[in-house]
Structure 1
Amino acid sequence: MYEHILFPTDGSDGAAAALAHARTLAETHNATLHIMTVLDTSSPHIGMTAAGPEGATTGMTVEEHDESESGMVGEEHNIESSLQERSQAIVDAAADEVDAVDTVTAVERGPPHSAILDYADEHDIDLIVMGTHGRTGIERYLLGSVAEKVVRTSDVPVLTARLGDDEG
């Protein structure tokens, strides 16, 4: 039924909860598991990493920049290079956790929900499995939700897994 399953991750606990589902489905269907993260180049923070203020994320991988950074071109390149390495480490760590499954890893760039949907289209993905942070109320309204945008606009089925209260 599924040949290619996409697991977008930001390296957070919520994403880790969804990884178990993605692994089980990939094993059950002998599918290739595509593990990806996105450098959010639409953000003034130029990236997405699970560590933000109080663990919040604004996309896939969010890196808050230190105010002491002068913004020199060379320093911006070092920041982007660092974010690329950190993003690659996130997908590599997830791939290591599902070592019995055939995996493909990728670091994409752009607005997270668009990059996820574009990747799904380009790689004939049959199912997207992703975690949610379980935000509610005003926080959800103000921050938005990558998972929610993907669910609403995806042409393929999307399985979401929410981090339980006893997890993380």
Structure 2
Amino acid sequence: MYDNILLPVDGSPAAEQAIPHVFGLAEQYDATVHVLFVVNTNRDNVGIVGGTVLEALEQEGQQVVDEVVSRGEERGIEIIGDVTRGAPHEAILDYADDNEVEVIVMATHGRTGVERVLLGSVTERVVRTSPVPVLTVRASE
């Protein structure tokens, strides 16, 4: 059913909670897991500070990706890691399209009301615009 599963990560405890679900799916379907970290270049302050900060964020993202990749390899899962720049929800969808991903697995904080509107949600944007199924994992506090 699934040959390619996408796991966007950001190093947060919420994203961490999606990993067991992804690994379980990958083992069940003998699928390849794609781990993706997106350096958000839509933030106003990132544009102001320039390349050095972006490079530092990419290095941080690479560490997060490498750690998840290592854990997947220990379980015998075929796993690929990547770091990219852009608007997170757009970069996730572009990556999914470019890599023939059949399902995206993402954590959600479960925010509602004004908090959700003010903070925005990458997961919500992906869910609303993705042409492939999105499995959301509600992060516990």
Give TM class, smaller chain. Answer: over 0.9
Structure 2: tracts of 5 or more residues without a match? none
The answer on whether the counterparts of 1:40 and 1:109 sit within 8 Å (CA) in structure 2 is: yes
Of 63, 83, 88 in structure 2, the residue corresponding to residue 112 of structure 1 is 88
Structure 1: tracts of 5 or more residues without a match? 48-64, 66-70
Please give the TM-score of this superposition, normalised by the length of structure 2: 0.92
| RMSD of Structure 2 on Structure 1 (CA) | 1.6
Q: Distance in 2 between matches of 1:97 and 1:137?
A: 36
* Greater percentage in helix: 2
Corresponding residue number in structure 2 for 1:135: 111
* Greater percentage in strand: 2
- Say whether 1:4 aligns with 2:34: no
The answer on whether the counterparts of 2:109 and 2:140 sit within 8 Å (CA) in structure 1 is: no
- Say whether 1:101 aligns with 2:101: no
Please give the TM-score of this superposition, normalised by the length of structure 1: 0.78
Which amino acid letter does the alignment assign opposite residue 113 of structure 1? H
Higher CA-based Rg? 1
Give the share of equivalent positions with the same residue, in percent. Answer: 46
Which amino acid letter does the alignment assign opposite residue 9 of structure 2? T
Q: Distance in 1 between matches of 2:12 and 2:68?
A: 11
Q: Distance in 2 between matches of 1:160 and 1:80?
A: 28
Of 80, 92, 100 in structure 1, the residue corresponding to residue 54 of structure 2 is 80
Of 145, 152, 160 in structure 1, the residue corresponding to residue 121 of structure 2 is 145
Q: Tell me how far 1:44 sits from its aligned partner.
A: 1.6
Deviant stretches of 4+, over 3 Å = none
Q: Tell me how far 1:108 sits from its aligned partner.
A: 1.3
